[in-house]
Chains A and B, each alone.
Chain A
């Protein structure tokens, strides 16, 4: 069992039990120990439940509990950590946009920090194209650490963690940023545990500022990691004064991408690491047809209550296929179970901005119109000439959607 982050001085413990009340995680309990004090009980700590919050230290009136300053990887020679790293997530050799957004931010942080820090991108994968590293350099990376290893061909958290942890140990970055994507979220937390430092997820603001360390009193350049807390009611600024690196994730589209400069110069360092072998094998990639992101399409074919049944969505799907778009729907269709919620457009669904929005049998309540305000061209078909959808449509057809859709399909199939 791991050593507990707190220590109880049995000689000083009076058995009052105040620490048990003070602990928010139920890690403390009282056990009988006749003769230890008047009450005959002492406090014991369950190391696995203790979160080192030190509330018990404050709760104990007899100063019998103290924090154990643990020797943690990365606490020594904090000065030796320097660079600002960005994890460059890639899929099939294409770097995710969030990495470019973070590179632009990293350049700002570098300017705030000074002291000759470099902005470095970490690129992991197998058979990585040269274009990926070039794109990273053009968008602000001074150095690209490239690990091209067959073990990294398919994403598996353990192997990625191993690679990043080895790089951290070798090059000692001061800050590492990653996108809060499905991949970033899953493996970055594990990296933080592996290198024994903190991690702030979903930051909305980042800056480097000279800050006084509360423990040592020394002035340090620290990364201020700001994120909403308590359901967005307050903004919490979190710092990592005693451990390195300082790690944070940021959701895509929070920061702005910079303009890439193809003339920018940078170094690519190919790292040959001895990585653990992946324990899983990717057999096949299957896309969930309902997990579609309708906001990404230029053409949306949308159906509403006027479609009268789930079977008519097949017609809509055919029409969408012919137009090179996707099927979306109004809320009534989700409620009726004709269409999955992932395809819903409107206030409680998705906000979309396609070039062409075709809607059939949608009356156009304001809750729906809110979701299509960004659409370039709206073509509406509805049986009711007074439907509000005609107020926003560029082209309106008064008629039964179920007659017009097959006619359109027929015409397009020619």
Chain B
């Protein structure tokens, strides 16, 4: 058993910000801070666009440290497009002021996270990667620590020669910084009834890094799109960021409360890349990296009570994200700082203190201002756009009430499959090219790898429910998974768990709630290096 003052679960921006703020502001007597992450190294499981709102770094890092941030480029030219079909789109003549990000750094969040880890280690944080925290330890209703997962189990559960038992870590405070749809976080929210006004709603973000010939593009140019290939009812949009003269980040986010069971977000992503107004940004390019993760975009009303006795929740895990700009990194950093300050203040009610400090951050205020935007979009695109404009102009005062919408959760939104639509979808595929690789090739480029001789971490709760789902919904898991983990082979659902990108779309969207996402052996999973 290891004893520490603070245990941070997850070495992403929120977790590392907590560690940095703790050690930087602790004064003479520094607390022991242990950070654990299931990725092979820091940043392996971190993925984002990302144009980062730099306000999060202020008063967390010194000006010299901010200067040295691994920033790829600064936004020099931005545009906003509404796509109607592949060929027909409209450039919004001006970039809406609330969406503008001119001068903001364009980064690979993987690299930024690795940089934050360097700073945290230098300050004395102990960061251990390759260890999944699989369980919280409670005593008399208070979280007092956590357990890491066993390593070296065989497929049949036998202990192999490299078996490593679970390790218990006791901490005065546990900080959950697991990211979107964190397993321990969700479990805690359910057990302690911490859920916000409505359940969290997610979008699946899919991203590629494309290398383009030199001299064809300008670094710092960015483009955001909304509309096509999403349907009218679904919140979806894409981005193209020129991080350097030869590298372009292309991504597409698709809300998981989509209704049509035949939808395949990866296929939509490919379609998005094929639009002439998009593909001109990476003409002659070749995809070199790939990744996917879920974005908690429910916003203000979906934020749970982010604490329970002995434990605080920070970052994406608590749904801290501006759902209009789809930016969460700065709020994650601010929440980490707020958590650290509350821990150091060490009052009788650390949790309440943290929540109060979080509510004072500008990130929180932004979320409040756009609190109705996401729900308005569930009524269709025009309502959403209108709500966004109104919310911005009136500082969130109109509408003054909570717009209902997204109240059912993502899985419940799915409608039974219409088979001929599925056939039409499947026929409408984009031609392969170096920047349009197939799904398995993309998965390969994510670097994901899992030891095959271990228990499958994606557990089907009831196989009969899968058979029923095949009849009703046509096994949507075989389509919404961006990594081709689920395959239908006759009557049998084949699960290739070693392809898994840890995005957790399956546990969110499975219409039968039949997939239990458990932790694979620590160190397994994607190996992002520049996502």
Contact = CB atoms under 8 A, between A and B. Distances in A.
B130 A231 contact: yes
A159 B72 CA distance: 63
Interface stretch (B8-16, B75-83, B447-455): B447-455
Nearest to B495: A335
Nearest to A363: B440
Contact residues of B: prevailing secondary structure: mixed
Given A231-B151, A335-B496, A348 B444 contact: no
Interface string A231-252: 1110000000000000000000
Given A365-B440, A366-B441, 11 more contacts: A24-B1, A230-B128, A230-B130, A233-B130, A348-B452, A349-B452, A365-B441, A365-B444, A366-B440, A367-B440, A367-B443
Contacts of B315: none
A304 to B, nearest CB: 14
A99 interface: no
B129 interface: yes
Contacts of A21: 3
18 contacts: A21-B3, A24-B1, A230-B128, A231-B130, A231-B523, A233-B129, A331-B496, A335-B494, A341-B452, A344-B452, A348-B451, A348-B498, A349-B452, A365-B440, A365-B441, A366-B440, A367-B440, A370-B444
A266 to B, nearest CB: 36
Nearest to A335: B494
B328 interface: no
A105 to B, nearest CB: 25
Contacts of A370: 444
Interface of A: 21, 24, 230-233, 331, 334-336, 341, 344, 347-349, 365-367, 370
Nearest to B164: A231
Nearest to B484: A365
A231 B496 CA distance: 24
A348 B452 CA distance: 7
Nearest to B452: A348
Interface of B: 1, 3, 41, 128-131, 151, 164, 440-441, 443-444, 449-453, 489, 494, 496, 498, 522-523
Contacts of A24: 1
Nearest to B499: A367
Contacts of A348: 449-452, 498
A347 B444 contact: yes
A231 B522 contact: yes
Nearest to A336: B489
A335 B453 CA distance: 12
A349 B450 CA distance: 11
B438 to A, nearest CB: 8
Nearest to B162: A231
A68 to B, nearest CB: 25
Contact of A347 (B449, B494, B523): B449
Nearest to B451: A348
A86 B492 CA distance: 54
List the 6 closest pairs (A to B, CB-CB), nearest first: A231-B130, A366-B444, A365-B440, A348-B452, A366-B441, A348-B498
Contacts of B1: 24
B165 to A, nearest CB: 13
A388 B129 CA distance: 36
Contacts of A233: 41, 128-130
Nearest to A341: B452
Nearest to A231: B130
Contacts of A347: 444, 449
Contacts of A231: 130-131, 151, 164, 522-523
Contacts of A341: 452-453
A348 B451 CA distance: 7
Contacts of A366: 440-441, 444
A341 B41 CA distance: 28
Contacts of B41: 233
Count chain B CB atoms within 10 A of each CB in A231, A349, A367, A370 and give the residue with the most: A231
Nearest to A21: B3
Contacts of B494: 335
Contacts of B130: 230-233
A56 B525 CA distance: 38
A202 to B, nearest CB: 10
Contacts of A344: 452
A341 B156 CA distance: 14
A396 to B, nearest CB: 18
Contacts of B128: 230, 233
Contacts of A331: 496
A331 B453 CA distance: 13
A179 to B, nearest CB: 16
A10 B3 CA distance: 27
A331 B443 CA distance: 15
A363 to B, nearest CB: 9
A78 to B, nearest CB: 33
A180 to B, nearest CB: 11
Nearest to A349: B452
B118 to A, nearest CB: 15
Contacts of B523: 231
A171 to B, nearest CB: 32
B444 A367 contact: yes
Nearest to B453: A341
Contacts of B522: 231
